[in-house]
Chain A
Amino acid sequence: MLTNRSKQVVKREMTLMERMYLPAIFGGVIITIRHLFRKAATIKYPETKREIAQIWRGQHVLKRDDKGAERCTACGLCAVACPAEAITMVAAERNRGEENLYREEKYASTYEINMLRCIFCGLCEEACPKEAIFLTDRIIETDYAREGFVFGKDKLVEPADARIDVTPRQTPAVLEFKKHKQLSHNK
Chain B
Amino acid sequence: MSFLLYQTILCGGIFTITLAIAAYSTYAERKVAAFLQDRIGPDRAGPFGILQPLADGLKFFMKEEIIPNVSNKLLFIAGPCIAMLTALMAGVVIPWGSTLEIGGNVYSLQIADLNVGILYVFGVVSIGVYGIMIGGWSSNNKFSLLGAIRASAQMISYEIAMGLAIIAMIIMTGTLSLGEISAQQAGGAGSDWSMWNVVYQPVGFLIFLICAFAECNRTPFDLPECETELIGGYHTEYSSMKLGFYLFAEYINMFISSAVISTLYFGGYNFPFMNNLGLDHNTITILGTVFLFGKIFFFIFFFMWIRWTVPRFRYDQLMDLGWKVLIPLSVANIVVTAFIILLSNR
Interface residues of A (CB under 8 A from B): 25, 28-29, 31-33, 35-36, 38-42, 44
Provide a sorted-by-A list of 21 A–B residue pairs whose CB atoms are within 8 angstroms.
A25-B309, A25-B310, A28-B309, A28-B310, A31-B309, A32-B36, A32-B305, A32-B308, A33-B36, A35-B35, A35-B37, A35-B38, A36-B36, A38-B38, A39-B38, A40-B34, A40-B38, A40-B40, A41-B39, A42-B39, A44-B43
Q: Give every chain A residue within 8 A of B305 (Cβ-Cβ).
A: 29, 32-33
Across-interface contacts of A42 in B (CB, < 8 A): 39-40
Report if B20 contacts A (CB, 8 A).
no
Q: Which of B8-50 contact A (CB under 8 A)?
A: 34-40, 43
In the complex, what residues of A have CB within 8 A of residue B40's CB?
40, 42, 44
Answer yes or no: B306 CB below 8 A from chain A CBs.
yes
A-B contact count (CB 8 A): 34
Q: How far is the CA of A32 from the CA of B35 in the complex (A)?
A: 9
Q: Which residue of A lies closest to B37 (CB)?
A: A35
Asked if A29 and B38 make an inter-chain contact with CB atoms under 8 angstroms apart, the answer reads no
Known: A33-B305, A40-B40. 13 other contacts (CB 8 A): A25-B306, A25-B309, A29-B305, A29-B306, A31-B309, A32-B305, A32-B308, A33-B36, A35-B36, A36-B36, A41-B38, A41-B39, A42-B40
Instruction: Give Cα A35 to B43, complex, Å.
Output: 19
**Residue contact A32 to B309, C-beta cutoff 8 Å:** yes
Chain B nearest CB from A67 CB (Å) reads 49
Of chain B, the residue at the smallest CB distance from A39 is B38
Q: Is the CB of B309 within 8 A of A36?
A: no
Question: Whose C-beta in chain B lies nearest to the C-beta of A19?
Answer: B325
B residues in contact with A36, CB < 8 Å: 35-36
User: In whole angstroms, what is the CA distance A103 to B306 when docked?
Assistant: 68
In the complex, the chain B residue whose C-beta lies closest to that of A28 is B309
Cα A25 to Cα B221 with chains together (Å): 14
Residues of A within 8 A of B34 (CB): 40
Contact partners of B306 in chain A: CB under 8 A: 25, 29
A28 to B219, CA, bound (A): 14
Residue on A nearest B308 in the bound complex, by CB: A32
CB distance from B69 to the nearest CB of A (A): 33
Nearest opposing residue in chain A for B321, CB measure: A21
Contacts of B308 in A (CB 8 A): 32
Complex Cα distance, B304 from A36, in Å, reads 12
Closest chain B residue, CB of each to CB of A33: B305
Q: Once the chains are docked, how many angstroms separate the CA of A28 from the CA of B220? A: 13
Q: Give chain B nearest CB distance to A68 CB in angstroms.
A: 44
Q: Which are the 6 A-B pairs with shortest beta-carbon distances?
A: A42-B40, A28-B309, A32-B309, A32-B36, A40-B40, A36-B35
Determine the chain A residues whose CB is within 8 A of the CB of B309 once the complex forms: 25, 28-29, 31-32
Chain B residues near A33 (CB, 8 Å)? 36, 305
Complex-state Cα separation, A35 to B41, whole angstroms: 14
In the complex, what residue of chain B is closest to A35 when comparing beta carbons?
Answer: B36
Q: How far, in whole Å, are A31 and B309 apart by their CA atoms in the complex? A: 8
Question: Who on chain A is nearest to B34 by CB?
Answer: A40
- C-alpha gap A31/B308 in the complex (Å): 11
CB contacts (< 8 Å) of B310 on chain A: these are 25, 28
A35 to B35, CA, bound (A): 7
Report chain A residues within 8 Å CB of B39.
Answer: 40-42
Rounded to whole angstroms, the CA-CA distance of A32 and B43 in the bound complex is 21
Q: How many angstroms from the CA of A33 to the CA of B305 in the assembled complex?
A: 8
Min CB distance, A29 to chain B, in Å?
5
A28 to B309, CA, bound (A): 6
Distance of B4 from chain A, by nearest CB (Å): 46
CB of B39 to closest CB in A, whole Å: 5
Residues of B within 8 A of A38 (CB): 38
Chain A residues contacting B43 (CB-CB under 8 Å) are 44
Residues in chain A near residue B37, CB distance under 8 A: 35
What residue of chain A has the Cβ atom nearest to residue B307's Cβ? A32
